[in-house]
């Protein structure tokens, strides 16, 4: 049996040499289960999940106590997600959410609610202050914009508030805002 050095004599190099085989085993298992990949060209565009926004919005219109609008968006905008949420407390209410991928590949989100504007903004994008307004299609939208954060626009339609946010440029915001403004409640 070879002479082992006393445990107190082990140092960081011994630790590194013992971790190398474990790291290699983890990389091999991750590669075999397709949980990681290496690409020389950087990230690639994946398949956009399919979501039936029309059916979700119709269901929300039937089940929620406020008018829900279905915006007519360009064909290259694809709905990819949706949910329903409830904001509890004073000024809260139900929230209908649909996510879209724009023709440029950016994500935009449409939130419709009977919650008050400040409560809705706080719930969706966190505590922010209005930085201006934008008029689109005859509707005034309050803009909440902060450096290093997605912008959010909110409009008051009387019985409901609509909040749009996302990674899109100003044209994407205007497209979604105009489509919501011109849409009749379901």
Q: What is the pLDDT of residues 82-139, one digit of tens each?
A: 999 999 989 989 999 999 999 898 999 999 999 999 999 999 998 888 899 999 888 9
Average pLDDT over all residues of the chain: 87
CATH number assigned to the domain comprising residue 114: 3.30.200.100
Residue 150 within a domain: yes
Residue 47 within a domain: no
- The pLDDT of residue 27: 78
Note the pLDDT tens digit of each residue in 162-178: 999 999 899 999 999 99
Residue with tokens 């915006």: 71
Residue 176 within a domain: yes
User: What is the domain count for the chain?
Assistant: 1
Q: How far apart are CA 69 and CA 67, in angstroms?
A: 7
The three-state secondary structure class of 27 is helix
Note the pLDDT tens digit of each residue in 43-65: 566 677 888 989 999 999 999 99
- The pLDDT of residue 35: 57
Q: Domain containing 164: what range?
A: 53-182
- The pLDDT of residue 37: 57
Residue 143 within a domain: yes
Residue 173 within a domain: yes
| Global pTM value | 0.74
What separation in angstroms does the CA of 147 have from each of 27, 129, 159, 163, 177? 37, 12, 31, 19, 21
Note the pLDDT tens digit of each residue in 5-47: 776 767 777 777 778 888 888 877 777 776 555 556 655 666 7
Q: How far apart are CA 60 and CA 172, in angstroms?
A: 24
What pairing do the DSSP bridges indicate for beta strands 78-87 and 161-166?
A: unpaired
Q: How far apart are CA 124 and CA 153, in angstroms?
A: 11
Residue 104 within a domain: yes
Residue 8 within a domain: no
């Amino acid at each position: 049996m070879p002479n082992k050095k006393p445990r107190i004599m082990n140092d960081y190099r011994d630790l590194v040499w013992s971790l190398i085989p474990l790291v290699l085993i983890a990389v091999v298992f991750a590669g075999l289960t397709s949980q990681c990949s290496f690409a020389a060209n950087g990230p690639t565009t994946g398949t956009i999940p399919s979501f039936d926004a029309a059916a979700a919005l119709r269901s929300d219109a039937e089940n929620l106590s406020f008018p829900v609008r279905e915006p007519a968006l360009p064909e290259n905008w694809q709905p990819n997600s949706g949910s329903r949420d409830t904001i509890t407390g004073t000024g809260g209410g139900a929230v209908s959410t649909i996510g879209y991928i724009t023709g440029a590949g950016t994500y935009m989100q449409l939130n419709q609610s009977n919650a008050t504007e400040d409560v809705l903004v706080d719930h969706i994008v966190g505590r922010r202050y209005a930085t201006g307004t934008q008029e689109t299609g005859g509707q005034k939208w309050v803009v909440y914009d902060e450096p290093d954060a997605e912008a959010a626009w909110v409009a008051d339609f009387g019985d409901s508030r609509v909040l749009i946010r996302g990674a899109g440029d100003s044209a994407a915001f205007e497209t979604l805002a105009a489509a919501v403004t011109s849409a009749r409640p379901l």
